[in-house]
Amino acid sequence: MIIDGKQAAADLRKTLTLQVAQLKKDKGTVPGLTVVLVGEDPASEVYVRNKIKQTRDVGMISNEIKLPHDTSQIQLLAELQQLNSDDAVHGILVQLPLPNHIDESVIIAAIAPHKDVDGFHAMNSGRLLNGEPGALVPCTPQGCIILAKQHLGEDLSGLHAVVIGRSNIVGKPVALLLLQENCTVTIAHSRTKNLAGICQQADILIAAVGRANFVQASWVKPGATVIDVGINHIENESGKAKLVGDVDFANVAPVCGAITPVPGGVGPMTIACLLKNTLIAASTNG
Ligand code: GUN
């Protein structure tokens, strides 16, 4: 089975559209998301354009702040201070990566935690770690869980989940969400010994390593649910640009029970979950 992330994202946006309208009716609040983009990275510009369009499509207010590449850290901090104190702005997203002269951790720490719709601030990651309510949870990990449940149903308890990758954006938070779902969780990474053997034990295999076609069919337990977070740009045999995941899809698909494709799997869910977080932020602090 191929898990259709495009459809799941469209379904979630439909629900959010209704909830946004209801919030406006009940409280007069229209959720507002501001995206801050520093520099001219072409991939970031595409992501930001998609975010803005989808934010407006569900009835929210979307603003973009575009700053030149040579913006100083102090200037960016001043922008954030203004957004933090603007009551019409419920969610703030600073598009990553930032230029090298800006320290990402300083910027993330400067976003008001209740507006941190990426869920990257230590207050939110700490709440997630402690299982405390009120955390804004990172978007891609949320998308992974929703897609795994599409195939496995709501109850994931007792399943062995193997996460390949330990980033703050995906690997660590998705492992915590799986633990919350009562999975047995293994986090594997570039230094893991016998990676193939560990992956073979996985009922749920989440690949977030950033290496094209890395996960092989022989690593996958028959019937496993495979969630591919990778977005890798490669050239195909004829030299044309192609987008592939971290999983060798053609060979893994016949072995596993379900798999998310790239594109059209986890990717669309990330933005849908960003909108969900913006709605949560607006409902809590509108
Ligand atoms: N760049 C690529 N993905 C993301 C994301 O989820 N959030 C932010 N802020 N930047 C990104």
Low-confidence residues of the chain: pLDDT under 50: none
Give the H/E segment covering residue 106.
helix 104-110
Residue minimizing CA distance to atom 11 of ligand 1? 96
**Cα 215 to ligand 1 centre (Å):** 23
Residue minimizing CA distance to atom 3 of ligand 1? 96
pLDDT tens across 64-96, in order? Answer: 999 999 999 999 999 999 999 999 999 999 999
Structural domains of the chain, ranges and CATH numbers in brackets? 28-112 (3.40.50.10860), 139-267 (3.40.50.720)
Supply the residues annotated as catalytic.
Answer: 51, 95, 118
Structure tokens at 200: 């073979």
215: left (phi over 0), alpha (psi -120 to 50) or beta: beta
Supply the DSSP string of 22-67, one letter for each residue. Answer: HHHHHH----EEEEEEES--HHHHHHHHHHHHHHHHTT-EEEEEEE
Residue of 47, 80, 140, 170 to test ligand 1 pocket, by largest number of atoms within 8 Å of CB: 47
